[in-house]
Chains A and B, each alone.
Chain A
Amino acid sequence: KNEVEQSPQNLTAQEGEFITINCSYSVGISALHWLQQHPGGGIVSLFMLSSGKKKHGRLIATINIQEKHSSLHITASHPRDSAVYICAVPSNTGNQFYFGTGTSLTVIP
């Protein structure tokens, strides 16, 4: 069993749609991270959160520690949001990170 599970694996949306990507994890964590990877490989850290909700522009991340679940929402999606979104959690010992397999998002104009 993977420590981090993401869904869906692939997602296609029309421009303007509201998008939700889910992440469930099995390890006890201090914080969960959301990453964005654009075609070509570049990775950017979007959020680090340990409770509640964080918002950055059209991106919103929420986490429920008790249920071991996090969601990444994109409001008013745009073609430039097309990327792979990856969630990551540190191991219990904090000496490495576990990553979800990623959600490939395509936003069509």
Chain B
Amino acid sequence: KAGVTQTPRYLIKTRGQQVTLSCSPISGHRSVSWYQQTPGQGLQFLFEYFSETQRNKGNFPGRFSGRQFSNSRSEMNVSTLELGDSALYLCASSLEWKLYEQYFGPGTRLTVT
């Protein structure tokens, strides 16, 4: 089976812009979770989608949003980018939402200048 794929792998944006990241889960997986990783804060949970519905959400401002499509592919969007949004954004897929059963993608490295 193909693993979790994320596109793009690297991205450079300017403050104030918006960005959309994409995640394709492993075939058959219906849960997709998103995480932000920064050197200062480490890994932080953003949100989780299952069957096109957001089921869980971390402590991030409303500028961070996401959605899931009927084929389980997911996108996350960050509007009005800030310098502090520079991070590695990881998505993970699983059959159900359990961390130990999640398979992580390679991540998208976002740099905001």
Give me the interface of A with B, judged by CB distance under 8 Å. Answer: 31, 33, 40-45, 47-48, 86, 88, 90, 95-102
Given contacts A43-B90, A45-B99, A45-B100, contact A99 B107 (CB under 8 A): no
- Dominant SS among interface residues on chain B: strand
Among residues of A, the one whose C-beta sits closest to the C-beta of B88 is A41
Q: Return chain B residues, CB-CB under 8 Å to A31.
A: 100
- Dominant SS among interface residues on chain A: strand
Decide if B102 is an interface residue (CB 8 Å cutoff). Answer: yes
- Which 6 residue pairs are nearest across A and B when measured between Cβ atoms? A48-B100, A43-B104, A99-B43, A101-B42, A41-B107, A95-B56
Q: Which of A33, A41, A101 lies in contact with B99, CB distance below 8 A?
A: A33
Given contacts A41-B88, A45-B99, contact A100 B104 (CB under 8 A): no
Chain B interface category by residue count: 20 to 34
Residue interface bits B50-70, CB-to-A below 8 A is 1, else 0: 000001111100000000000
Q: Which of A47, A95, A102 lies in contact with B42, CB distance below 8 A?
A: A102
Q: Return chain B residues, CB-CB under 8 Å to A40.
A: 106
Q: Which of B32-46 contact A (CB under 8 A)?
A: 37, 42-45
Task: Write the nearest CB–CB distance from B57 to chain A, whole angstroms.
Answer: 7
Q: Roughly how many angstroms separate A35 CA and B62 CA in the complex, as a whole number? A: 28
Q: Roughly how many angstroms separate A108 CA and B51 CA in the complex, as a whole number? A: 46
